[in-house]
Amino acid sequence: MKYYILFGPPGAGKGTQATAMVEKYNLNHISTGALLRKEIAAGTELGIQAKTLIEKGCLVPDEVVEGMIENEFKTVTGVDGFLLDGFPRTLPQADALDQILARNGSEVTATVSIMIPDEMIMERIKGRALKEGRADDASEDIINNRIVTYHNQTEPLIEYYSKAGKYNEIDGIGTIDEVRDRIFSVMDKF
Ligand code: ADP
């Protein structure tokens, strides 16, 4: 089993590129953001708690997403691997992922990081807001908070995976197809 992490700031295009990646490499796409939005739509206890945090641009507690990930690993079959999109997002989550995989004699295969500058994050998310109507895309204040959260809590993962020799960064500026081809040329190595 391959375990790929799709990494990058909010709005980098992870969701868009994930679709092409799962198809080409027969992966199961796990987006913690999408799983959380499903819980919110279903009105579950977890969803109600997550909603308030997400709509402020904050992260939900590590244990919540870790539980969701472990559950997905257990229930999905018939694939060559998993594409983790939006997870891990904090150092404790990265540590938990290593432990979950180690229990099954496995490890992270590679991290594919799509990088875009902060100015572009705002521009892209505002464009997406018009199409998708996500509550956390609705105001500049929330988007700014997500950018700050990314720099403070998620960016340290770059060093974590670089040290492990598992960090691959690609330039997220360009057309969807250009970015996709850059990703494929990295993934073809594994
Ligand atoms: P984006 O990549 O555009 O920020 P996501 O759909 O990945 O959007 O995530 C939306 C929100 O869901 C995040 O801002 C955060 O509140 C919550 N979330 C998603 N993944 C995680 C995670 N791994 N840990 C904590 N919170 C998460």
Give per-residue pLDDT as tens, 51-99: 999 999 999 999 999 999 999 999 998 999 999 999 999 999 999 999 9
Q: What tens digit of pLDDT does each residue of 123-166 get? A: 999 999 999 999 999 999 999 999 999 999 999 999 999 999 99
- Asked whether 17 lines ligand 1 (CB < 6 A), one says no
- Mark whether 134 is an active-site residue: yes
Could you count the other beta carbons within 10 Å of the beta carbon of residue 57?
Answer: 19
Q: What is the pLDDT of residue 79?
A: 96
State residue 92 phi and psi, 5-degree precision.
-60, -35
Residue 43 vs residues 51, 54, 84: alpha-carbon distances, Å: 10, 14, 24
How do residues 18-38 score in pLDDT, each as one tens digit? 999 999 999 999 999 999 999
Give the separation between CA 15 and CA 18, rounded to whole angstroms. Answer: 5
Per-residue pLDDT of 52-62, as tens digits, reads: 999 999 999 99
Closest alpha carbon to 88 in 22, 143, 167, 185: 167
CA of 146 to the centre of ligand 1 (A): 9
Whether the CB of 6 sits within 6 Å of ligand 1: no
Evaluate whether 59 touches 101 at the Cβ level (below 8 Å): no
pLDDT above 90 (res 121): yes
In this prediction, residue 77 carries a pLDDT of 87
The rounded Å distance from CA 80 to ligand 1 centre is: 25
Given a contact cutoff of 8 angstroms between Cβ atoms, the answer to whether 50 and 64 are in contact is: yes
Collapsing DSSP to helix, strand or coil, 30 comes out as: strand
Clarify whether 37 is annotated catalytic.
no
CATH number of 2-187: 3.40.50.300
